[in-house]
Amino acid sequence: MYGLWTRDTGCLALKKKQEVKNKDFQNRSSYHRVIKSVIFITGLGGIVGQLILIRELMITFYGNELTWGLVLASWLVFEAAGSFTVSHVKYFKNSSLYIIFIILYALFLPLALYFSRSIDVYLFHILPGETAGLFQLFISSLILVGPVSFVHGSLFPLAAEALSEVKTESLSFGIGPAYIWETAGTLTGGVMFTLVLARFFHSFQIGMGIILLHLIGGLILLGIYYPDYKKLKLIFLSIFCILFVSGIFLTNIIQDKTLEHQFSGQNVVFYENTAYGNIVVTREREEHTFYYDGRPLFTDPAYDLGGVADFVHLSLTAHQKPKNILVLGGGIGGIINEVVGHQPESITYVELDGRLPEITQKLPLSLVPRELALPQVNVIQADARFYLRQTEKKYDLVIIGFLEPETLQTNRLFTREFFSLAADRLKEQGLMAFSLPGSLTYLGTELASYSRTMQLTAEDVFQQVSVIPGERSIYLASNSSFELNPQLLWNRMENRGLQDNFMSPGYLEYRLSQERQEWFLGELQEGRGEINSDLRPVGFFQALNYWGRTFAPRLQEYLFRLQQYSEVEFLGGLIVLCVLVIILIRLFFFKKSRVLIYAVGTTGMCALAFDLLILFVFQTLFGFIYQMMGLLLAAYMGGMAGGAALEPYFSNRVSAPDKLFKSLEAVIILLLGLFFGLVLIMQQLAGTGQTAVLIMSFTIFAVLSGGVTGMEFPAAARIRESTGRKEESTKIRAGLLYGADLLGGWLAGILISLLMFPLLGLKMTLLFLASLKVISLLFLFMGE
């Protein structure tokens, strides 16, 4: 990703010199400053473009962390390809290419945005409401992200060349400042996106801003390189003015149009990106459906009465006299309406995204405003885990609304740690209740494993756990004993005046039948269950597995088979694979460089791993990555840039280039361990009110880890120059190292999001990465 620019700093410093033909601006340092401002713009445009594309793709394609990993990996591949390709172009003037690519980025980004909402329809003929699968996601991310990131990747070497053309010194003079200014733009863009853009503007408004900025950049460059091309400048200026004037109007039209495609056949009446996700409301006849990150959340007023009432009434009648109820997430749109029928004294509804209940007040809804206006209902905008840690209140029932551990954000409500928090907030005889996908007919192994994992996780905390099988299975857990006798539950319903709903003694007999219960428990034994925890989000993996059964059955089968291996076996297998890779490198590459290539590749893996794991762990502990993504990514990239910029300083202070390199390898291993320790501390402190401090700690770590990994590439380039074949050109040298770094990052993007973090957890993932670095350090010490 942006690490690629860090890599460029080292290797393109050794690139060919290009004669500057236009001696008129050769010594005009003012043009140097102006070009730097263009570089700043492209840096800003790059990070913002990436973030809005990721955000849109997450909405279109089932927004979970797998989407991030795939999109980031795609961006990385094409960005490097762009940088590598353009550096080999000989027959065009750098200045022309630079202007063209700036304009191309301004063109490709809005196109990518436009099609991100409908690519599944155009490419794969996905029907309205049909969910696209993993293959569609993968191909779409390549097609959408590819051209944009390819073009953006091309900009850096062109920028560096442009800077260096102003003076006649070596190219390295251009790369350093270009990198620094681009990173400054990146950082600024990341912060702006987090604090302002994401909250107040939709994607097309942001995209329009990027277009305008790049047009300015193009105009500036035209002024420098082609001062006599007045007509062209006039065209640029005209386009800029038209877009500037019509921008708001035009972007809103495109926004509405693309939403129509995305929600084909429905009437979109509300759209907003909050700090936590995307909310869209559609209206059909008298009903409003709320979508959150592209998935239907609830329908007002006609919610799924069968499902909601079933869950609520079975849960509440399992308790003798529930007075104080806590609903965590997913409460509005039916659950509260049903809970109130049991006449509790209080219903506390905790919702992470405070905009959700606020928005319901602005629309002509009939059910939800009524729910929220009930005197016994108290709405609290907070993270559920934070609330449970902070509150001293105790409850008769803690209900987790219709959420599933299908993202890291929601998985954190289904972990052992969370269940412990919930248990502490229960009164005596108190119950915790949640529901997950189930079946009354047949449980496949993926659903059995999913259910078993949740059952085991609850059993790890609570003394009694009962599961009522259904289209959605209901999990009831308590540290006191409770009974699920149909007659007892019916009596309680009658006592609470609820005998007129669709429940009846016969219905309860059917739902709580002993035969069904035995069948279900028997099916669960076929599943592979493990305890779901914060740092080993197996629940998330199982949910992904379940989703995969629908949308990528073949891949799901392979993933499922991987579960039969223990952590140690899996880790061992991966390490054996790495050793095989080393053997391959040994056979193929010139011997003095083979270890270096392996080291650079594994550092590329660690670089993206740090990037992703920081985001994933932040999501797990705090749950609001949507907003903070820009800041964390920018911090990491800033660190990488800083590291690359500081590399010459450290290199000059060591006797041999490989000493610095070995030191950096060792530091990376230490950082992997430090990260784990930091996360353990964060886990204890998250939700205790130290949020700002914890976020700052994460950010500092992101800068630190980025700095170390960023410093390694130019160090590797330096070693390569001194130890490589004399006849090897700089371009080829750069390409080898580049390719290794790229491959490492790409592998990390796929493996970590899909497999390692969900299945092995944080500890084993870090152990694996540390093993890779230990192997490379050993080889370095063994010498060639």
Partner 1 sequence: MKLIRKKWIIILCLVGVSAVVIFYHLEGSRSRPQELDNMLSGATPAAEGDVELVEAMFYESLSDNSVQCSLCFRNCVIPEGERGFCRNRENKEGKLYTLVYGQASAVHVDPVEKEPIHHFLPGESMLCIGTASCNFRCKFCHNWHMSQRSIEELNIREYMPPKKVVSRAQNHGLPAISFTYNEPTVFYEYMYDTAREAQKEGLKVIFHTNGSLNPEPLRKLLPYIDGVTVDLKGFEDSYYREMTQGELDTVLETLQIIEEKDVWLEIVNLVLPGLNDDPETVRDMSRWIIDNLDSKTPVHFSRFFPSYKMQDLSPTPVGTIEQLAQIAKNEGLKFVSIGNVPGHRLNSTFCDNCGSRIINRHHFTVRNLKIDDEGKCMDCGHEIPGVWR
User: Of how many residues is the chain composed?
Assistant: 784
Chosen residue from 24, 345, 518, 526 binding partner 1 by CB under 8 A:
526
Give the whole-angstrom CA distance, residue 784 versus residue 782.
7
Chosen residue from 22, 27, 252, 306 binding partner 1 by CB under 8 A:
306
Closest CA to 404 of 552, 548, 543, 538: 543
Chosen residue from 30, 96, 128, 252 binding partner 1 by CB under 8 A:
128
Give the whole-angstrom CA distance, residue 171 versus residue 176.
9
Q: Which of residues 256-275 bind partner 1 (CB under 8 A)?
A: 264-266
Give the whole-angstrom CA distance, residue 730 versus residue 727.
9
Q: Which is nearer to partner 1, 583 or 696 (CB)?
A: 583
341 counts as binding partner 1 under rule CB under 8 A = no
Chosen residue from 428, 515, 649, 655 binding partner 1 by CB under 8 A:
515
User: Nearest approach, Cβ of 447 to partner 1 (angstroms)?
Assistant: 7
131 counts as binding partner 1 under rule CB under 8 A = yes
Chosen residue from 158, 309, 498, 748 binding partner 1 by CB under 8 A:
309
H/E segment holding residue 433: strand 426-437
User: Nearest approach, Cβ of 579 to partner 1 (angstroms)?
Assistant: 12
Give the whole-angstrom CA distance, residue 570 versus residue 760.
8
Where does this chain touch partner 1 (CB under 8 A) — which range of 148-156, 287-295, 661-669, 742-750? Answer: 287-295
296 counts as binding partner 1 under rule CB under 8 A = yes
Chosen residue from 233, 370, 516, 592 binding partner 1 by CB under 8 A:
516
For residue 604, give Cα distances in angstroms to 261, 497, 597, 632, 783: 38, 64, 10, 18, 21
Closest CA to 672 of 594, 717, 738, 617: 617
Chosen residue from 90, 561, 653, 726 binding partner 1 by CB under 8 A:
561
201 counts as binding partner 1 under rule CB under 8 A = no
Where does this chain touch partner 1 (CB under 8 A) — which range of 16-24, 224-232, 328-336, 516-524? Answer: 516-524
Query: Cβ(56)–Cβ(113) under 8 Å?
Result: yes
Number of alpha carbons in the 13 Å side-chain half-sphere of residue 232: 17
Contacts 24+ apart (CB under 8 A), 611-615: 611/1, 611/72, 611/636, 612/68, 612/69, 612/72, 612/748, 612/749, 612/752, 612/753, 612/757, 613/675, 613/752, 613/757, 613/762, 613/765, 613/766, 614/698, 614/701, 614/702, 614/705, 615/65, 615/68
Task: Read off the amino acid at residue 104.
Answer: L
Chosen residue from 203, 282, 457, 593 binding partner 1 by CB under 8 A:
282
Give the whole-angstrom CA distance, residue 742 versus residue 7.
10
User: Nearest approach, Cβ of 154 to partner 1 (angstroms)?
Assistant: 30
Query: Cβ(143)–Cβ(61) under 8 Å?
Result: no
Q: Which is nearer to partner 1, 281 or 350 (CB)?
A: 281
User: Nearest approach, Cβ of 504 to partner 1 (angstroms)?
Assistant: 4
Classify residue 196 by its DSSP letter: I
Taking the CA atoms of 72, 59, 405 and 322 in sequence, report the sign of the dihedral they define: positive
Where does this chain touch partner 1 (CB under 8 A) — which range of 216-224, 232-240, 554-562, 626-634? Answer: 554-562
284 counts as binding partner 1 under rule CB under 8 A = yes
192 counts as binding partner 1 under rule CB under 8 A = no
Closest CA to 403 of 393, 394, 414: 414
User: Nearest approach, Cβ of 507 to partner 1 (angstroms)?
Assistant: 5
Give the whole-angstrom CA distance, residue 295 versus residue 303.
15
User: Nearest approach, Cβ of 405 to partner 1 (angstroms)?
Assistant: 16
User: Nearest approach, Cβ of 502 to partner 1 (angstroms)?
Assistant: 4
Query: Cβ(460)–Cβ(531) under 8 Å?
Result: yes
Q: Which of residues 474-513 bind partner 1 (CB under 8 A)?
A: 501-504, 506-507, 510, 513
Q: Which of residues 433-462 bind partner 1 (CB under 8 A)?
A: 439-445, 447
Q: Which is nearer to partner 1, 6 or 282 (CB)?
A: 282
User: Nearest approach, Cβ of 17 to partner 1 (angstroms)?
Assistant: 30
User: Nearest approach, Cβ of 138 to partner 1 (angstroms)?
Assistant: 17
Q: Which ranges of 226-290 would DSSP assign to H, the alpha helix? A: 230-262
Chosen residue from 22, 343, 550, 729 binding partner 1 by CB under 8 A:
550
User: Nearest approach, Cβ of 725 to partner 1 (angstroms)?
Assistant: 13
Q: Which is nearer to partner 1, 111 or 580 (CB)?
A: 580
CB atoms within 10 A of CB 248: 12
User: Nearest approach, Cβ of 552 to partner 1 (angstroms)?
Assistant: 12
The interaxial angle of helices 691-723 and 591-622, nearest 10 deg, is: 170
Chosen residue from 558, 569, 579, 725 binding partner 1 by CB under 8 A:
558
Chosen residue from 190, 294, 470, 486 binding partner 1 by CB under 8 A:
294
Residue-wise DSSP of 370-393 = HHHH-TTEEEEES-HHHHHHH---
Token pair 């529930």 is found at 322
92 counts as binding partner 1 under rule CB under 8 A = no
289 counts as binding partner 1 under rule CB under 8 A = yes
Contacts 24+ apart (CB under 8 A), 579-585: 579/775, 582/775, 582/779
Residue-wise DSSP of 575-601 = HHHHHHHHHHHHHHS-HHHHHHHHHHH
Where does this chain touch partner 1 (CB under 8 A) — which range of 14-22, 303-311, 489-497, 645-653? Answer: 303-311
Total residues contacting partner 1 (rule CB under 8 A)? 58
Where does this chain touch partner 1 (CB under 8 A) — which range of 88-96, 163-171, 297-305, 425-433? Answer: 297-305
Q: Which is nearer to partner 1, 308 or 715 (CB)?
A: 308
Q: Which is nearer to partner 1, 146 or 724 (CB)?
A: 724
Query: Cβ(212)–Cβ(70) under 8 Å?
Result: no
- Which residues are near partner 1 by CB under 8 A? 62, 127-131, 264-266, 282, 284-287, 289, 291, 294-296, 299, 302, 304-307, 309, 439-445, 447, 501-504, 506-507, 510, 513, 515-516, 519, 522-523, 526, 550-551, 558, 561-562, 580, 583-584, 587-588
